[in-house]
Structure 1
Amino acid sequence: MEVVVQQERRTCDQGRDMHMEAVIKLLPDDVLADILRRLPPRSLATSRCVCKAWHDMIDAGQLLRADLLPHTLGGIFIDFRFLQVSELFRPSTRTAVSGDLTYSSANAAVSEHCNGLVLLPSHTVVNPATRQCAQLPPLPPLPSRAGMEDFYVLGGDKFLVFDPSVSPHYEVVSIPLVPFEERLGRMPRESEWPPSLFVLPVYSSETKRWEERPFVRQGSAAGTIAGMLEEDRLHLGVKRYGVYLRGALYVQIQNDFCCRISMADRKYRVIRPPAGMEMAEYPELHLGKSGNEVRCALVEDAFRFLRVWGLDESRGRCKWALKHRVDLRQALARGMCRREETDERWILENVNDGGGGSDGEEEGDDQAPAKSDYMSFLGFHPFEDVVFLCDTLTRGLAYHLKRSRLEYMGILRPRHYGHIAGSVAGVNASFPYTPCGMGELS
């Protein structure tokens, strides 16, 4: 039935495109371009999706302003333990987007980011560049959740889907997780996970409601529910990241497995962990993207080595390929260039302590460590072959993978953070942020 509906939808879309193209031919190109040019960015992005002819005209005339699209790195949102508001670590001299999101929610800790939009634990979607926000409705008791309510404890993991160059609308996908043994109820432990037909709750800003969408699995499952229960003990509290690229949502599920979810054709594929992950003492895989490639990274061996993989999707494959292995201690021993010699310094906004920013010059908490005890991975540069690291929860570093060069960016430790968090200080999650100046949230 689902296949028939999709075929009918494609037939209708093709008929609509043919009709629109016939109408467009009646108008001179310069007249149509002038009409489209008068539209606001949100309406122009919608018009780009109407038919192929409009899509081509808008792109050829560069009518959609590139400066409003998420094509630059605005900083890194960092969610520190015991702080209610995520801090924005950003360049100090550029025109900045404020990282203070307390106008949208008291608990303004960023839990997800996609092309300029961020998601907060209060289920609020925020655009920091336009300072607009929208509250998601509660996840309803959908039929597919019957008997699986505990798989959506705290709502499950939620991921944003947004590409303003394609559509002004966003979606939020809720991914269920295998709960603890005592909460499984009558669910068969030998069942495959994820199931062959994965029915996911999806919120659409266009329809303003949650709906169920079935996704058919291609290939094998990650394992069984029993297997997830046995292995997931090592991954308690680990942040699971998502990436939206070329119409597909890539998400981390459990036990270092990932899923590639094709939003258009309603199919998904399980991606197995990179080779050698089982040997990692603290398996904390970080999913992200760099350019047009999905990547993942791991800091291992007492936080000494960094490994970076790229996802090989050629010839129908979906497999991780090792791209870089970096000895971080050797990189530190070689020394690093300081960012003030090459570019602007980066600062932390310190919104949890009244703002004002910090460039690391003041005394006390903001001083760099005498030695490097451990490294944390903060994320991938979305447009360059660079990764961001945190040295002993104090210094922000950039490692240029192609040039094997370490660069000091600035101090990223929140002011007085040591007194607030004590021995449990750390980073819960981090998100390279790409500002988007388009559209209104709804």
Structure 2
Amino acid sequence: MEGDPMGVALPEDALAEILRRLPPRSLATSRCVCKAWRSIVDGRRLLLPELLPHSVRGIFLEYNEASYPGFLSHPSMEPDDILGKLNFHRLRPDPYQWTYTHIEGHCNGLLLYRDRLGLQVANPATQWRARLPPPPETEREGGFVEPHLAFDPTESLHYEILLVPQTPLAEERDQPEPSKEWPASTWVLCLFSSRTGQWEQRAFLREGEAAGMASDEVLHRTSDSCSTYWHGMLFVQCNGGFTVMRISLSNNKYRVIKIPTDIEESEYYKLHLGRSREGLCCATFRDRTNLRVWILDDSCGTMEWALKHHIDLDQSLSRVMWHCGEKEGPWSLQDAINVEHYGQQDLNDVNMDEDHSNNSFVKSEVEWDSDNDNIGDNESEVVENYLPYVCFLGFHPYKEVIFLNLLSLRRAVAYHLNTSIVQDLGNIWPNDYDAGHAGGIYKSFLYTPCLLADFPENKLEAHVAG
């Protein structure tokens, strides 16, 4: 094979057959040897689809005033009891003692969460779990520093966690020099690597302009930060959605990416960062149901947001909401404490009218094709304009599909951006959840499983949950 770094000339087909026989971890390592090997592994999908399925199997949901998350699970012949495997309440020594578990992030099958022992990383599909040493800082005067997970099993089975300030910290805003840039040209961040099992301070050099001056009011916005990992880069949303930081963990450089210029100030807090089949994207709602989606274009070396979709969801969502009524969708909601499945119901019952006749519209709306994740068809006329309140749950990372929360019905739906097809997934409100006016979902994480089991241990602790 031409250009073979090992000096052995093998036809591509022969080399592919050799690589195909490697165990998953060795195959993932071989992918990093050279571009030619990576091209073979990726082009022929040698990392088996059943180990790295390109599908969304559920959505982790964080509720206000709740001690544990919920999990809206994808239907299958044998539904995965993800929360039962994670066993978030396993550390509670006394059933009457208050404790909590909050999810901080998800990346390509790994889950980052925090409980009373600190930060943990887990693979829900294989029950592998590792506890991290305490980070040197998670909160500083004048601002919060949030952890973000970076992991790509096609590159390496090691993972990294980066602590990123949401806004300029007090000591940065109160500098004697009022023109102090933020972030600084050399931005020092705290990072944990599973390779070393330790936290370390790492300096990242800025490419391009700063977000602004540390004293600028526009940089002091705070809200829940989200991140996504794509092409070896960690993209982190800061300043209440006003800025996206592109951080490279391989060459220790970062770049400030400002949000699309036509987003109004009121939309900053509603901006959602994610990854779709076409790459890095962001979405926001103007008014109730006016959705806009941008794709990040870096083809010419510049970071520009291109408007990909501008859709009024009113008609589509009114249609599905009117017809779903009180029916339970095919996805089931799991409760972390009791490991109960709320809303699970026989689809034959769901798709039958009161006179036991099969309603084709409801069937196409409710059923989910678990073999290929197709979205159900929808061609019926709108009976009544419902005009729902909507919030974002996430992007499907491998399809042009978004997941939405219909607040007024407390339901999740999937919306196909290219065809405007909508499918009702079902209830996302636990039966015993009552937080009054504070009730609601404040974070969501789409779960894509990784069935690779041979993860490296960190030096503090690694174990398989029993």
1:332 aligned to which of 301, 317, 331: 317
Q: Secondary structure at the match of 2:6?
A: helix
Residue matched to 1:349: 334
Q: SS of the counterpart of 2:66?
A: coil
What is the letter of the counterpart of residue 433 of structure 1? Y
TM-score by length of 2: 0.75
Partner residue, 2:280: 294
8 Å Cα contact 1:345/1:409 also seen in 2: yes
The equivalent of 1:117 in structure 2 is 110
Would you say 1:193 and 2:209 are equivalent positions?
Answer: no
Measure the CA separation in 1 of the matches of 2:311 and 2:87: 38
Q: Is the 8 A contact 1:91 1:346 kept in 2?
A: yes
Q: CA deviation at 1:138?
A: 2.1
Q: What is the Cα deviation at residue 157 of structure 1?
A: 1.6
Which SS does the other structure have where 1:316 is aligned?
coil
Deviates more, 1:427-436 or 1:99-108: 99-108
Give deviations 1:268-315, integer Å, cap 9, x for gaps: 2111122232342673211001014111111232x3322211112121
- The 2-side partners of 1:205 and 1:182 are apart by 30
Mapped pair 1:388 → 2:403 = yes
CA contact (8 A) 1:377 1:388 kept: yes
Report if aligned partners of 1:372, 1:391 keep a CA contact under 8 Å in 2. Answer: no
Distance 1:19 1:324, change over 3 A: closer
> How big is the shift at 1:380?
0.7
The 4+ residue runs of structure 1 with deviation greater than 4 A are 24-34, 36-39, 51-63, 103-106, 179-189, 334-339, 370-373
Provide TM-score, normalisation by structure 1. Answer: 0.79
Q: Match of 1:404, as an amino acid?
A: S
Residue identity opposite 2:194 in structure 1: S
Rounded Cα–Cα distance in structure 1 between residues aligned with 2:418 and 2:11:
50
CA contact (8 A) 1:150 1:179 kept: no
5 Å-filtered alignment, 1:1-400, equals 21-22=6-7, 39-51=22-34, 55=38, 63-100=46-83, 101-103=86-88, 107-121=100-114, 122-140=118-136, 150=141, 153=144, 156-178=145-167, 181=170, 186=175, 188-227=177-216, 230-231=217-218, 235-236=221-222, 238-255=223-240, 256-280=242-266, 283-301=269-287, 303-335=288-320, 345-359=330-344, 373-392=388-407, 394-400=410-416
Amino acid at match of 1:113: H
User: What displacement does 1:373 show?
Assistant: 4.7
Tell me by how many angstroms 1:356 deviates.
2.7
Cα 1:219/1:399, change in 2 over 3 Å: same
AA in 2 matched with 1:283: Y
Separation in structure 2 between the aligned mates of residue 273 and residue 244 of structure 1, nearest angstrom: 18
- The amino acid of 1:396's aligned partner reads A
1:267 CA displacement: 2.2
Q: Which whole-Å deviations, capped at 9, do the CAs of 1:109-135 have from their partners, x for residues lacking one?
A: 221111001111231111111111111
Q: Confirm or deny that 1:435 pairs with 2:428.
A: no
Identity %: 38
User: Which deviates more, 49-58 or 192-201?
Assistant: 49-58
Contact 1:350 / 1:414 at 8 angstroms: preserved in 2?
A: yes
SS in 2 for 1:215: strand
Question: What is residue 361 of structure 2 aligned with on the other side?
Answer: none
Query: Given that residues 199 and 214 in structure 1 are in contact (C-alpha distance below 8 angstroms), is that contact kept between their aligned partners in structure 2?
Result: yes
Q: Which amino acid in 2 is paired with 1:137?
A: P
What displacement does 1:334 show? 4.2
Give a deviation string over 1:59-78, Cα, whole Å, max 9, x none: 57754322111521111111
Quick one: distance in 1 between partners of 2:38 and 2:297?
A: 29
Distance across 2 between alignment mates of 1:164 and 1:226: 40
SS in 2 for 1:315: coil
Change (3 A) 1:179 1:263: closer
What amino acid sits opposite 2:192 in the alignment?
Answer: Y
| Root mean square deviation of aligned Cα | 3.5
Tell me, yes or no, if the aligned pair for 1:200 and 1:212 is still in contact at 8 Å.
yes
Distance 2:266 2:167 in 1: 22
Cα pair distance change 1:58/1:381, threshold 3 Å: closer
Amino acid at match of 1:258: V
Query: Which structure has the highest helix share of the two?
Result: 1
Q: 1:216-265: CA deviations, max 9, x gaps?
A: 212111111111xx2356x43x2211111111111111142101122323
Quick check: 41-50 or 78-87, which moved more? 41-50
Query: How far apart are the structure 2 equivalents of 1:26 and 1:359?
Result: 53
Q: Which residue of 1 aligns with 2:419?
A: 403
Q: Give the aligned residue type for 1:401.
A: L
**Pairs aligned (count):** 400
Unmatched tracts of structure 2, length 5 or more: 92-98, 350-384, 458-466
Paired residues of 1:77 and 1:89 also in contact (CA < 8 A): yes
CA displacement at 1:179 relative to structure 2: 5.5
**Unpaired stretches in structure 1, ≥5 consecutive residues:** 1-17, 363-369
The Cα offsets for residues 406-439 of structure 1, whole Å up to 9 and x where unpaired, read as: 221111111122xx31111111211111100113
Check 1:188–1:437 CA distance in 2 against 1; reply closer, same or farther (3 A cut): farther
